[in-house]
Structure 1
Amino acid sequence: MTSSLDTSDIDRYIGVPLGRSGAVEPIHVNDIRRWAQAMRHPNPLYYDAEYAAQSRFGGIVAPQSFTVVCDAGHGARPALQGKIPESHMLFGGDEWWFFGPRIVAGDMVTVEQMAFDYRLTETRFAGPTIIQRGDNHYTNQRGEKIALQRSSAIRYRPAAARGTGAYAGLEEETEWSDEDLARLNKEKEAYIATIRGLGHGRRSWDEVNEGDELPAKVIGPHSVVSFTTEWRAYTMNAWNTMFREEYVPTEDRGFTAEMSVTGDVDLDPEFGDGAYYGASRGHLFERYARRIGMPRPYGYGASMGAWILDYLSSWAGEWGFVAHSKAQYRGPALTGDVTYLRGTVTGKETSMVAGQGAVNIAYVMTNQKDDVLSKGTAEVLLPQD
């Protein structure tokens, strides 16, 4: 059945540099604050100037997840090369390697991109499916390599996804009572207390043991409002904020007409907004969510990846560092649902970085029904005593 998806146009892009993109102006401290707010990331290191002044950084620094904000396509573009007629896409996962430099206000970050590979498979969600991967190389104005992001895109036919009924029965949102919401707020407060408890202190590699459980983090309930807040925190979604130097222009990826840009973006930039028109409108509008096989509006894959990085880095503390994370996305965060993140230390080993040891972590993201939305592994560096 996979032969029903035409991959002939993809092959010519694999391994071909796509070009360079980035913001047209330096990062502002309020960009960082806006991102922390949108990701519901309550670490004051990323928004409170007085608190951050007492940190090892001496001021507000961007969370490692902010790196994705620096791209003109939140990491998806190199995984979407080549035209597949009457198709759509969802994020399938992210793998990150971080190399050390932190992003701060005043930085100019550029991204070099290249399609990496693809494979054909069958999925319960949409039948014939292509899993395509692409690389994003993030570099600052000093030429320092910040990170490599390898994103995965699930490319499929919406008509096939509607036919499988994989998410049938999930059209109605969960109803949360006042008591339920109060309980969720208590869970959030308990998690925030772990961040504040560590504060500017060090989480030592020597004190961490295999089998240790990371504190659980809850995000939500999600809504169209919260997803819109996320979308507006990506720099690319404000008019004329990004540049793109394309070696290989690939604007037509074969998306269905209703999920494509239909107006003159140069005349009215609203057409290029992404939320109102184009491939991302399914996140915020029930009508278009259902057209692509989702039961109701759903969250952004790039945001799911950010939640993971924020979760890991807050546990590591400001003296720790997420060196590597590899996440597979298995299901959507839907409006009305909440998201839980949990992690377990699976091992420890020496590191090539002087004075730091590596901690291996397995993490899982679920909703309130314990449906798995994402699973992955990470390597976190912590200072040694």
Structure 2
Amino acid sequence: MSTSSNKSTENTTAEDTVELDLSDVIPRVGQPVGGGQLWDPCSTSDIRRWVMAMDYPNPIHWDEEFARASRYGGIVAPQSIAIALDYGHGAAPACVGRIPGSHLIFGGEEWWFYGTPVRPGDKLLQERRFHDYKVAQTNFAGPTLFQRGDTTHRNQHGALVARERSTSIRYLAEEANKRGMYENQLGEKKQWTEAELDEVGRLRTEWLMSNRLGVSPHYDEVKVGDTLPRRVIGPHSIASFTTEYRAFLFNIWGTFEWVTPQGVDDPWVYQDPGWTEGFGFDEEGAKIDPRLRDGLYVGPSRGHIDQDKAGKVGMARAYGYGATMGGWCTDYVAYWAGNDGLVRHIKSDYRLPSFEGDVTYFDAEVIDKQDQSEWGVPLVQIKLQLTNQDGGVLVKSIAEVELPL
């Protein structure tokens, strides 16, 4: 936590008098929080829908015949599924406290995985806590709140599946819109030639075939400096953004209930974070008409597929989801690690959105090997970077991966 007053006053110029009202944020630091809990267990359709949205055609997650012949004996979810089985893209404990006129984008995610796979019929249960925050000046929106929250995911048997630390970026939408940083930096939406699209398709297929059988490299075979096969996703479109959004199960009508941690007087459940005008939900009305809390029609997510709404929150045109980029990173490393490997830890910092019309490229290399680790197993450390067609950096990640000996 980086401020002790109830308002951010870290202004860089005399003319910049914009402030964030943190009076409802500060008292909640360190507190358990509530949120949404899915009613139903994970199904094979949920898994298939998720990998389809992530453009992750690993057959062990969707091909019944292939999966039955594997060591799992049937379809198993990717490690990234935890985010799809959570409420609010995993950002609920990082969006605590009302800030009037605010909006939110993702700043990053950190994941720890404990080797418990998610299978059809499993149900994930979440425990959430608001960890901390800091305020910084940004060119994007002036005074900006970086807020972190923790989520623990367990299955119906109480087994620990994963822990997540999510970072949200909360800012005043009017200020971001006035500054127009992305509008000033972005050119026209990329128009791809047939030859360019053919090359994108070639790279996609080449990556897909690089480890379709799920063969895991052995720890001793991997060398520092080894590079992973390049991956590509895109071009991103309204259709792909919509497909991604609908794979987060809490967005389907009636899929979740509100839950409250015991012993907390004000656990931040079912409360308005202060969304800027035109981006809030109608929770009471949604009890009759569920579209009134459907984020693609109302609510804070509508800017992802609506250029006009994107412009009102400083994003210039339709753009992708931070939680999606986190899923991409985990899936990419897990695909290289194969069916006998495990992503133990991955930390991803988000630098730039994936805008409509862009293509995202994945490039990674092995930067270290740890013969002994805190997990009690040898780990390979991988540096991953996601860029767009112009070289803009979207994500920087560091992952630790367990491989068979």
**Residue 127 (structure 2) pairs with residue 112 (structure 1):** yes
Shift of 1:55: 1.4
Give the Cα separation in 1 of the matches to 2:46 and 2:170. Answer: 31
Superposed counterparts of 1:281-300, under 5 Å: 281-300=302-321
Within the candidate set 33, 56, 72, 2:48 is matched to 33
Give the Cα separation in 2 of the matches to 1:103 and 1:262. Answer: 33
Superposed counterparts of 1:147-186, under 5 Å: 147-167=162-182, 168-170=184-186, 172-186=188-202
Superposed counterparts of 1:47-66, under 5 Å: 47-66=62-81
1:56, 1:200 within 8 Å by CA — same for their partners in 2? Answer: no
Shift of 1:20: 6.0
Q: Does the C-alpha gap of structure 1 residues 300 and 54 become closer, same or farther in structure 2, counting only changes over 3 Å?
A: same
Within the candidate set 336, 346, 356, 1:325 is matched to 346
Give the Cα separation in 1 of the matches to 2:36 and 2:311. Answer: 32
1:119, 1:131 within 8 Å by CA — same for their partners in 2? Answer: yes
Q: Does the C-alpha gap of structure 1 residues 354 and 331 become closer, same or farther in structure 2, counting only changes over 3 Å?
A: closer
The residue type paired with residue 109 of structure 2 is D
Within the candidate set 202, 227, 233, 2:216 is matched to 202
The residue type paired with residue 21 of structure 2 is D
1:138, 1:148 within 8 Å by CA — same for their partners in 2? Answer: yes
Give the Cα separation in 1 of the matches to 2:272 and 2:377. Answer: 46
Give the Cα separation in 2 of the matches to 1:48 and 1:282. Answer: 34
SS of the counterpart of 2:89? Answer: coil
Give the Cα separation in 1 of the matches to 2:282 and 2:122. Answer: 35
* Counterpart for residue 204 of structure 2: 188
2:49, 2:247 within 8 Å by CA — same for their partners in 1? Answer: yes
* Counterpart for residue 94 of structure 1: 109
Give the Cα separation in 1 of the matches to 2:116 and 2:195. Answer: 44
Considering only aligned residues, what root-mean-square deviation do their CA atoms show, in Å?
A: 1.5
1:138-192 Cα offsets, whole Å, 9 max, x none, are 0001100111110000000111112222111526210001111111101111101
Shift of 1:56: 1.7
The residue type paired with residue 221 of structure 2 is E
Give the Cα separation in 2 of the matches to 1:275 and 1:257. Answer: 16
* Counterpart for residue 260 of structure 2: 246
The residue type paired with residue 254 of structure 1 is G
1:355, 1:383 within 8 Å by CA — same for their partners in 2? Answer: no
* Counterpart for residue 359 of structure 1: 380
2:180, 2:316 within 8 Å by CA — same for their partners in 1? Answer: no
1:20, 1:112 within 8 Å by CA — same for their partners in 2? Answer: no
* Counterpart for residue 308 of structure 1: 329
Q: Does the C-alpha gap of structure 1 residues 235 and 250 become closer, same or farther in structure 2, counting only changes over 3 Å?
A: closer
1:93, 1:152 within 8 Å by CA — same for their partners in 2? Answer: yes
Give the Cα separation in 2 of the matches to 1:90 and 1:34. Answer: 24
* Counterpart for residue 350 of structure 1: 371
Q: Which moved more, 1:236-245 or 1:286-295?
A: 236-245
Give the Cα separation in 1 of the matches to 2:142 and 2:270. Answer: 26
SS of the counterpart of 2:47? Answer: helix
Q: What is the number of residues matched between the two proteins?
A: 382
Unpaired segments of 5 or more residues in structure 1? none
Shift of 1:214: 0.8
* Counterpart for residue 290 of structure 2: 269
* Counterpart for residue 224 of structure 1: 238
1:109, 1:140 within 8 Å by CA — same for their partners in 2? Answer: yes
Give the Cα separation in 2 of the matches to 1:320 and 1:150. Answer: 23
* Counterpart for residue 87 of structure 2: 72
Shift of 1:286: 0.6
Give the Cα separation in 1 of the matches to 2:140 and 2:117. Answer: 38
SS of the counterpart of 2:250? Answer: helix
Shift of 1:202: 2.7
The residue type paired with residue 137 of structure 1 is T
Q: Which moved more, 1:290-299 or 1:238-247?
A: 238-247
Shift of 1:22: 2.7
Unpaired segments of 5 or more residues in structure 2? 1-8, 12-18, 262-266
2:385, 2:393 within 8 Å by CA — same for their partners in 1? Answer: yes
Q: Does the C-alpha gap of structure 1 residues 39 and 366 become closer, same or farther in structure 2, counting only changes over 3 Å?
A: same
Within the candidate set 256, 260, 263, 2:280 is matched to 260
Q: Does the C-alpha gap of structure 1 residues 31 and 363 become closer, same or farther in structure 2, counting only changes over 3 Å?
A: same
SS of the counterpart of 2:137? Answer: strand
1:49, 1:59 within 8 Å by CA — same for their partners in 2? Answer: yes
Q: Does the C-alpha gap of structure 1 residues 355 and 99 become closer, same or farther in structure 2, counting only changes over 3 Å?
A: closer
Give the Cα separation in 1 of the matches to 2:85 and 2:258. Answer: 12
* Counterpart for residue 214 of structure 1: 228
Give the Cα separation in 2 of the matches to 1:106 and 1:38. Answer: 20
TM-score, normalization by structure 2: 0.91
Give the Cα separation in 1 of the matches to 2:37 and 2:120. Answer: 15
Give the Cα separation in 2 of the matches to 1:268 and 1:342. Answer: 44
Q: Which moved more, 1:17-26 or 1:369-378?
A: 17-26
TM-score, normalization by structure 1: 0.96
**Residue 392 (structure 2) pairs with residue 371 (structure 1):** yes
